[in-house]
Amino acid sequence: MNMTKFFPKIGALILGLCFATSLFAAQTYEPQLEHQRNPNDYCVKCHKFSGDGTQHGGQWHLGKFYGIHLTKMNPNNGKPITCVSCHGNISENHRRGAKDVMRFQSDIFSKTKPMYTVEQQNQVCFACHNPDKMREKLWVHDVHAMKLPCAACHVLHPKDDPMHGLNQKEQVKLCVDCHGKQQREHTNIQHAQMPHIDTKELKNE
């Protein structure tokens, strides 16, 4: 065997393996920082409950801030869900009252126009909750998907069950209450649009 030709080949092979290994490691390695700041801490400095149960930080927040969502992982990146995952990043003027984050409307009968459309609100939820799977699980998701905001039936910061923590009987009551109010609102509108008839003039005729 010609050793002068053998060793350069071995050296090139080893060098190639080292390069391939380092390249693979560079693609898969993700640094783990032990002392990363909790992104939720910045939000809950203002958005929190006081000792007497009074809620601070905006009228749009429902339920407890530390709900079941913040114990789950984001299926899109495998990282913990944070406030930013649903509400988005804030601007420098946020503390001055800038309405720059996603707000979810729960009261569909409110006279106040929502900041975001039903589609915009629900797209945030659909980023993690697959609408096709939800339709298979319960038919009401198919009927209400793009007509009502998810927050009309679900709580963004649920302590337990996202469906308001209700059992099946109470869930049915929620449907009846909502559709009953919808019917009353529709009836009131119809009455308001009807032409006014002076009953005194009818008696005189």
Q: Give the pLDDT score at 156.
A: 76
pTM: 0.58
Tokens found for residue 197: 């008839």
What is the 8-class DSSP label of residue 163?
T
Per-domain residue ranges for the chain? 39-50+58-188
Kindly tell me if the per-residue pLDDT of 61 is higher than 60.
no
Confidence of residue 60 (pLDDT cuts 50, 70, 90): very low
pLDDT category at 55 given cuts 50, 70, 90 is: very low
Indicate the burial class of 36 (C-beta count within 10 angstroms; 0-12, 13-18, 19 or more): exposed
What pLDDT is attached to residue 50? Answer: 54
Amino acid at 80: P
Position 59 scores a pLDDT of 40
Query: How do residues 111-154 score in pLDDT, each as one tens digit?
Result: 888 888 889 999 999 999 888 888 888 777 877 777 888 888 88
* SS3 assignment, position 72: coil
Can you give the pLDDT at residue 161?
56
Angstrom distance (rounded) from CA 136 to CA 190: 36
Instruction: Indicate the burial class of 193 (C-beta count within 10 angstroms; 0-12, 13-18, 19 or more).
Output: exposed
pLDDT digits (tens, 9 = 90+) for 76-122: 888 888 888 888 888 887 877 677 788 888 777 788 888 888 899 99
Query: In sequence order, what DSSP letters do the residues of 95-162 get, joined into one string?
Result: GGT---S------TT-SSPPSS-HHHHHHHHHTTS-HHHHHHH-THHHHHTTTS-GGGTS-SS-SS-T
